[in-house]
Chain A
């Protein structure tokens, strides 16, 4: 069993503030679990566990995207807590991800609260626009970013440093079937993320490509996904040019059908 020191708690919360800014703005994707977990692992002095947690949590959150103003379970808290719990309680990262989820839901609701609460600032924004007051309008925007960032810092400090003893006690009191259940769920969890991706992407005409990727990865064992990405690229390029040629063929067919007006000029 490891403990989180005060310094580590502070560093984690600084990291959470930076990643929190990035999550709010969607700039460099520093908020994705693979980055958050790695940084957490570095701060805790156990890079290896950070990488393992990052690989798992990143994929579990693959489909949980903030598209169209929806707010998914929070990837930063999931990343930080999966790594921290695995580290402090010597758990498999698959078990830890399950225990990290409540924290992820907590932050999701905090962000949802801000989405509603910040509507209040819009009246002020309207007033500054009316007065063409650039300085005050800028300050208002920065204020909202700072509120969100600081919230991340505080929440992460509380969850990692302050709450670590009760967390350890909870983990220690778990029977084997329960922690094994968490571990199994951690292994299945990416299915929900992939299901979400497919919900948006999959149409019947794309099913062949899904099967090709699945069968390839099931029977050809390789250490990373680059080969499949290349197969996918090959298929995508093939279809792109196929579509393009079809358009040209139909267009020229139409032109012939439409009569001489168009052909005269060529």
Chain B
């Protein structure tokens, strides 16, 4: 679809790397009216200036177009920025550029959130928290290094968007479903383990059965059925209330506290 002669290229490879770093400004002016639009434009601005040169009218038009509503994943946004800049550089029709931007930011947000918030974060957080809980400074160090690595991938996405351009859209759509599915499986497995390891509910009540003997509800009852059955059950209750009843998480946090305090007062937990 896009053929570009080398002479029409105004951006260098190092410009694209800079763009990857500047993509961090995506949320600099986040607000409810246009979400990331201001930051999206701010990140790309030096390069738009380079492309349009002293043609103020063109630059202004491009700035206005890129100030329209956008909301996507910050880690992956470089892909879209690279793509849009390659189109701008090639002097493509303005409505085509806008159309591609609008068509892609949603799916990109979906893939990015599935991978970075819902798979990478629980795994990295789970592993680093398990070190931190034992008082090992390795925990935060591992966490920090992993996210430096995640940040570095911005360079890959940005270069990919710029060089592969429109051709990449097809393969992105083709593979995105399989990739997010596998990522979700990994994430869900780890969350299962996180529930068992980090949700603590321990019933301290005992039932007196005469003759000075008593049965510990936790030790002799719940643990005999299945260890961690209460944490699993409570997490599923939260899941149910969040998903099916659409209850605000803040309310669930407050209810958890109130419930815990009442049960503490009664001596159950």
Contacts and interface: CB of A to CB of B under 8 A. Distances in A.
Q: Do A and B actually bind?
A: yes
B207 to A, nearest CB: 20
B118 A200 contact: yes
B228 A218 contact: yes
B67 A125 contact: yes
A214 B195 contact: yes
Interface in A224-238: 224-226, 228-229, 231-233, 235-237
B173 interface: no
Interface stretch (A161-169, A188-196, A252-260): A188-196
Interface string A90-134: 000000001001000100000000111111011001101111101
A248 B214 CA distance: 62
A170 interface: no
B167 interface: no
A243 B150 CA distance: 26
A59 B126 contact: yes
A24 B27 contact: yes
B140 A34 contact: yes
A212 interface: yes
11 contacts: A27-B24, A38-B137, A51-B133, A59-B198, A62-B121, A72-B249, A121-B29, A126-B67, A190-B199, A200-B113, A232-B123
Place the interface of chain B in its size category.
35 or more
Contacts of A206: 184-185, 188
Given A48-B135, A125-B67, A140-B38, A55 B262 contact: no
Interface string B227-269: 1100110111111011100000110110011011111110001
Nearest to B34: A122
A137 B45 contact: yes
Interface of B: 24-35, 37-39, 41-42, 45-46, 49, 56-57, 59-60, 63-64, 67, 71, 74-75, 109, 113-114, 117-118, 121-123, 125-137, 139-140, 143-144, 147-148, 150-151, 178-179, 181-201, 226-228, 231-232, 234-239, 241-243, 249-250, 252-253, 256-257, 259-265, 269
Contact of B139 (A51, A177, A180, A211): A51
Interface of A: 24-30, 32, 34-35, 38, 47-48, 51-52, 54-56, 58-59, 62-65, 67-69, 72-73, 98, 101, 105, 114-119, 121-122, 125-126, 128-132, 134, 137-138, 140-142, 144-145, 177-178, 180-182, 184-185, 187-192, 194-202, 206, 209-219, 223-226, 228-229, 231-233, 235-237, 239-240, 243-244
Of B45, B188, B234, B249, chain A has the most CB atoms within 10 Å of the CB of B188
Contacts of A194: 191, 194-195, 199, 235, 238-239
A142 B38 CA distance: 11
B16 to A, nearest CB: 18
Given A51-B140, A52-B133, A213-B189, A185 B109 contact: no
| Chain A residues touching B, majority SS | helix
A178 B261 contact: yes
Contacts of A134: 45-46, 49
A69 B269 contact: no
Given A213-B191, A225-B194, A189 B147 contact: no
Contacts of A98: 257
Nearest to B48: A134
A91 B67 CA distance: 49
B41 A129 contact: yes
A58 B134 contact: no
Given A184-B269, A236-B183, A64 B249 contact: yes
Contacts of B128: 34, 55, 58
A36 B57 CA distance: 46
B260 A210 contact: no
B261 A198 contact: no
A119 B33 contact: yes
A28 B148 contact: yes
Contacts of A47: 137
Of A64, A197, A237, A243, chain B has the most CB atoms within 10 Å of the CB of A197
Contacts of B226: 218
